[in-house]
Structure 1
């Protein structure tokens, strides 16, 4: 019984709280660390590539990031990598380029990265034209605004950006259950309101050196994307602070994180992908509510979701004590109604919350 409520309580806490973060900082050969780190199913490792090549620019000069899941690793606008850095690259599935400005795209760097890893390069038309004939034709993918494509199980939607160059793009990239937004150097554009599903991570330009970016435009981007986590990638310290204030004063459930150069950040997510939940799990909930199966049998269904990576539950030091010998009958009734689709997930979780608030479960 205690184990059952431990699992359910952790689910409640994770769904109703802001994301938490495990941060690992490596002082020696940090790029190697992200490739060697064993990223678990349901985890996303993020590394800001820093601005050491563009050190004359103030603020977050580089908009480059590496993102790694258990199955894929991608780079977005990795112009700041030095050639010594490229020697550390172990694998890349895809390199995304938003536009041709030097703080986002360097042709020689991109060519060297692609040659080292054999990755796909997905680029706006202007940037792609600078790479044509210099990397294999079947690896260079040109994408235009209002276009969606899938490459190597990675889906990208492109939106026209507002920035003074020929073909700048904004991307929403989806892979391994995560949705990533990269705002390029753009001002807010109305087309972003067409984004239907929330994103997990948004990289937004909050100001300098981009002439079109600003704290208010970055804030509009996170409103449109409903992002869980946001990383400002451009902007002076003052502009970054202005952006953070806008988020803090709003009702947006968004966590702002400020990475250090070459720091690997692993946000902790609870991901429940309902289309993958087998029907027998809901059957178990129904039978449990009717007293046809034991608590332990119901728990085995929860354990299955964890083992299969459908539900990610981080480690915790919390212990739970059940204070009463029996539970209110309506809690199991709610589980049954949830199993039959008569109430929402929130209704079911509110039943667990009731047990906590009324001391039936003691922390």
Structure 2
């Protein structure tokens, strides 16, 4: 058997310590509403546990109600942290009424003279409900990471143990049974403090790292891959194509008369043209195809496992879609065209050589009148 009072003191101090740790982490990290809510939830849980430790020592019955309300509000904050972190938008419509109703029930029960054991059982039911909801949020996600699943399983175990404790306290008159269930709930609560305390910090760090990686690889104006990221993926695709002995097609794409667009309607209008191009390209390209902005009005696209004929068809489809798109600005609206050079990599050809051939084909399309697709010369004829 464990000493419940000493365990409550350790849990309370541990959760307050986690809240302080999170406050320190947030001073050097990007702002996170989810992490702020989680910090206040840890602080609230720690406060509630410390109140539970102090209640029998001080002999103040009102602390029982304060402990219960603290638990309800703290787990509600923890639930809100999950919802904010995962981008749920309507969580308040359910969470606020459930939290408010639970608090009113505890206050009413305390006013009617409910014992501390009864209040604890009611609060435990609410805590178990919130913990089960948090486990459901984490485990229902199809592409949940291993870390999310570990935290979700931990929440589920905590929900089951707290529900068992509440059930034994409400239905059984056998004190040892209720004591054993209470000890199990506190032990899983300790595991919850360790796993979820560090786990949520790691989740936030993963999210920050993913956002930084996204910013480092995506062109901020068009949302397409930037030059470095595209070339990196194209090189990986080239190696894979040569290993699997499959074709890999490349396109070089340039918006026609882009300088004239900037000169006539201003650079903001030129930015609008780039955005419209990117949106149109995403609409017509296939799921396995990749497009990136190499700089200015120049783009590149790779088509894995595409023959030269299929690549030319894809290029024509893109060219016609761009010609049909309208760039809407604060001034006059206008349309634009693109010129495209297409090649298929030769066996053992380097990426830079293939891009040079596609670029040569692109400038052939420019010389031939623009708004057209040209196929690059075979490798041996490329100077």
Judging by fraction of residues, say which structure has more strand: 1
Larger Rg: 2
TM-score by length of 1: 0.27
Q: TM-score normalised to the size of structure 2? A: 0.26
Of structures 1 and 2, the one scoring higher in RCO (CA 8 A, sep 6+) is 1
